[in-house]
Every structure is written in structure tokens, then in C-alpha cells.
Amino acid sequence: MKELNGKQIENLIDKAIEIKKNQQKWWNSLDHKTLAMIFQKTSTRTRVSFEVGMTQLGGHAIFMDWRTTQFTMSDIKDESKCLSRFVDIIMARLVKHSDLQKMADASGVPVINGLCEKYHPCQSLGDLMTIKEHKGKLNGLKVVYLGIGNNVSNTLSLACTRTGMNFTLCAPEMDPPCIDEELLKEVKGSGLYEEEKDPKKAVQGADVVYTDTWVNMEVFTDPKFEKEKERRMKTFVPYQLNRKLVEGTDALVMHDMPIHKGYEIDEWSIYSPNSIIFDQGENRLHIQKAIMLWLLGKIKL
Ligand code: CP
């Protein structure tokens, strides 16, 4: 996200909307191209949307579980350099952004961040695409993020403020590994970012209310994280996206999934008339296509 200015972000989103409307036009555009997808962590949406996206564009995708590769026993730079000799593009979901950076530096082909502890750029691009589809514009809208400040809120705040949207973070704390002072400095300096600790005040005038898990996927079932998980469940209850907060408002309800029903969001809100959660999930497919077409030189921003 940091590599794209507001105009480029919006152009990419517009391309994804265009691709979604006219899918057949792009069916052979990545003929004979190969995507390597390497995962240190679990995934449903990111894996399937990239794999299906590449197939629908005429190319091929290879799923690699980190634990079954030689990345586990060798230098990430050497393995990445070699991997990039076989494929045209890489998507990686790694625990540490610093490892992703090493991979990108060593790779001879583009490397896409499929989520790390600091950022989730493909998610935010798909999110803005979904908002634009529903609202017809981005500029001037107000997005409120409820819960814990994390990789998703980081990237979403940057995407929103770069495209002229107002972003309100309503979170009692930040997940420590996600903190990026440079990013915070930029969003706070944009004049479009605010922090509000009271959820009722935060959602006033909101066009979108968004939430995400309070506990990262890699530690959700880890017994070593159990105590901290319990603390978070108690701390974040007042920040739940629920019926009381959004019923009767015009705010669209968003969640990047997977959902922990009854924790960060209640059941009513997931299926409420204003929920666009499943459109948001589907749009991961269309935005991944636009991202790959852009990185492989098939579209210009
Ligand atoms: N939102 C998202 O990235 O979903 P997955 O973890 O299933 O890929």
C-alpha cells in the first residue's frame, strides 16, 4: 500500500470493478504465467482467491505450505531467489514483514504481501473496491474501525486517508507487533484520521463500520496465548460491532473474515441488511486479478 498513491489505489480498484463486470475479456491475459503462493499461516480467502484468480486469467498457481518446503532449513534469500527463477510472480503470507522484505529483495519477480504482522494490503484494496461498488465513491466517506488496532486497521487507515476518506480508529489498544510509527505519522498528519475511544461517538455519521478479530490467527488456538486471549476478550467486549450500535443507521457493516461470531461481531450484524461482508469476501478474487495484471504489466495505473 505504501508504494501506491491515492490515484493509483483508486485506479486499481476501478480496474478490478471493470474486470468483475467483464470477466471473459481477461481469460487468456496471463496465459502460461505461474504464481507461487507460499503460506506460513492458514488461509481460506487469500489462498482461494489468488488460485482461482490466476486460473481464470489463464495461468497456473502453485500452493506451497512453508512447513513442507526447504525454506524451513535454508536462507530465505537463497530459496526466494531460486523460486523466482521458476515463476512469474509470488504471493507470500509470512509471520514477519522483515522476512517478506528479504524475499522481495532477493526475488527477480514481483512479491505480493498476502498478510504479515503489520499489513494486509490486498485485503484493504478489496475493501475499498467493495465500498466503491456500494457507495459509488470513496472521497469524503467515513470509515470507522472497531476493535484492536492491527495489520488490517493499519493498511485500511493508509488506503482510506490516501484516497480522501475519513478514518476513525475506535480501539483501546494496538496489537504490539503491528505498530508502524512511519505509517501512523502519515495517517495522523493527513487531517483525515482520528481516534475515538467511545464506540457510540465513533459511529456517528459513519458510512462504514468495520471490525476484525481481536486475536491473530496464528495464536488463536495456542495454549501459550490463552491468558492474553482471555484478557483481550474482556477488554474488547465494549468494542464489539453489534446490533445496538448499528441498527437504524445507514452504515455498511464490514469484516474481513474469518469471523469469530459473538466476539468482535454479533450474529445479527453479520447478516443485517447493511452487511456487505460476503461481497467483501468475493471481491478478494476480483482485486487479486487486478493486482496480478498490474504487476505483470497487463494494465497500467
Ligand atoms: N481475510 C483473509 O485474509 O482471509 P483468509 O485468512 O482466509 O485468507
CB atoms within 10 A of CB 97: 18
Query: Which cell is 3 given?
Result: 508504494
Ligand 1 center to residue 121 CA distance, Å?
12
In which band, very low, low, confident or very high, does the pLDDT at 241 lie, cut at 50, 70 and 90? Answer: very high
Q: In this model, does residue 89 exceed pLDDT 90?
A: yes
The CATH class of 6-119+281-295 is alpha beta
Round the average pLDDT of the chain to a whole number and report it.
97
Handedness of CA 28, 32, 33, 39 (dihedral sign): positive
| 61 sits in which H/E element | strand 60-65
For ligand 1, which residues put their CB under 6 angstroms from it?
Answer: 43-46, 115, 123, 256-258
Query: Which cell is 191 given?
Result: 487531517
Q: In the chain, what's the furthest Cα-to-Cα distance?
A: 55
Give me the residue spans of the domains in the chain: 6-119+281-295, 121-278
- The tens digit of pLDDT for each residue in 13-61 reads 999 999 999 999 999 999 999 999 999 999 999 999 999 999 999 999 9
Name which residue sits closest to atom 3 of ligand 1, judged by CA: 46
Specify the CATH number of the domain 121-278: 3.40.50.1370
- Which residue from 289, 290, 291 is spatially nearest to 54, judged by alpha carbons? 289
Tell whether pTM > 0.85: yes
- The tens digit of pLDDT for each residue in 125-182 reads 999 999 999 999 999 999 999 999 999 999 999 999 999 999 999 999 999 999 999 9
Name which residue sits closest to atom 7 of ligand 1, judged by CA: 44
Closest ligand 1 atom number to CA of residue 46 = 8
Question: How large is the average pLDDT for residues 178-193?
Answer: 98
Q: In this model, does residue 103 exceed pLDDT 90?
A: yes
Are 35 and 62 within 8 A, CB to CB? yes
3-state secondary structure of 195: strand
Same fold, 6-119+281-295 and 121-278: yes
